[in-house]
């Protein structure tokens, strides 16, 4: 996951000017460790920067997704959300309970995808897949809860 400095560098590498407002939004973003919604972001931002309007925030989100600083994550169990991005091709493990997201820095399906793409005559493809489940912490927490209610 990008640190605030890496986010800043990435944006500047694309020749995008970091206005004070965009900088403030980046700072707020860097505080999120898991998945978040636009509403979460808006709430946090309003606390520290009530002057930044909705339109500015939405434009910044669009920009950051395009630059890869932010990634949109699809979820089966809840609405789509955002996470702080990472460089390079990777996949995601998402906890459906606490919203933790891990970037998995390897592609277990690379060869199969390449073969399929070639066979179908496609080129310049991108693919993504995300795995949703319970993280170890949540699983242990749930097991504890269960054993408590059962009086064990
Ligand atoms: Zn979890
Ligand atoms: Zn990612
Ligand atoms: Zn892949």
* pLDDT confidence of residue 117: 96
Query: 40 alpha carbon to ligand 1 midpoint, in Å?
Result: 18
Model confidence at 152: pLDDT above 70: no
Which ligand is in closest contact with the Cα of 136? 1
Which ligand is in closest contact with the Cα of 107? 3
User: 87: closest CA among 8, 15, 13, 2?
Assistant: 2
Predicted confidence band of residue 134 (pLDDT cuts 50, 70, 90): very high
CATH of segment(s) 4-149? 1.10.10.10
Kindly list the protein residues that place their beta carbon closer than 5 angstroms to ligand 3, a single-atom ion: 107
Query: 134 alpha carbon to ligand 1 midpoint, in Å?
Result: 5
Residue 56 CB coordination number (10 Å): 17
Tell me how far apart the alpha carbons of residues 79 and 150 are, in angstroms, rounded to a whole number: 33
Summarised one tens digit per residue, pLDDT across range 24-39 is 999 999 989 899 999 9
Predicted confidence band of residue 66 (pLDDT cuts 50, 70, 90): very high
Which ligand is in closest contact with the Cα of 111? 3
Which ligand is in closest contact with the Cα of 88? 2
Tell me how far apart the alpha carbons of residues 79 and 30 are, in angstroms, rounded to a whole number: 21
Name residue, tokens 């004070």: 20
- The CA angle 94-35-21, to the nearest 5 degrees, is 155
Name, in order, each residue with C-beta under 8 angstroms of 124's C-beta and a sequence gap of 6 or more.
none
Predicted confidence band of residue 80 (pLDDT cuts 50, 70, 90): confident
């Amino acid at each position: 996951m990008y640190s605030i400095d890496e986010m800043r560098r990435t944006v500047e590498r694309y020749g995008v000017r970091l206005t004070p407002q965009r900088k403030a939004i980046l700072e707020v973003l860097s505080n999120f460790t898991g998945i978040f919604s636009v509403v979460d972001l808006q709430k946090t931002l309003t606390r520290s920067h009530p002057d930044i309007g909705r339109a500015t925030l939405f434009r910044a989100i669009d920009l950051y997704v395009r630059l890869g600083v932010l990634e949109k994550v699809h979820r089966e169990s809840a609405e789509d959300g955002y996470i702080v991005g990472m460089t390079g091709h990777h996949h995601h493990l998402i906890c459906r309970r606490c919203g933790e997201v891990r970037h998995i820095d390897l592609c277990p399906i690379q060869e199969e995808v390449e073969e399929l793409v070639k066979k179908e005559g496609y080129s310049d493809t991108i693919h993504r897949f995300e795995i949703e489940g319970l993280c170890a912490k949540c699983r242990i927490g749930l097991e504890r809860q269960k054993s408590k209610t059962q009086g064990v």
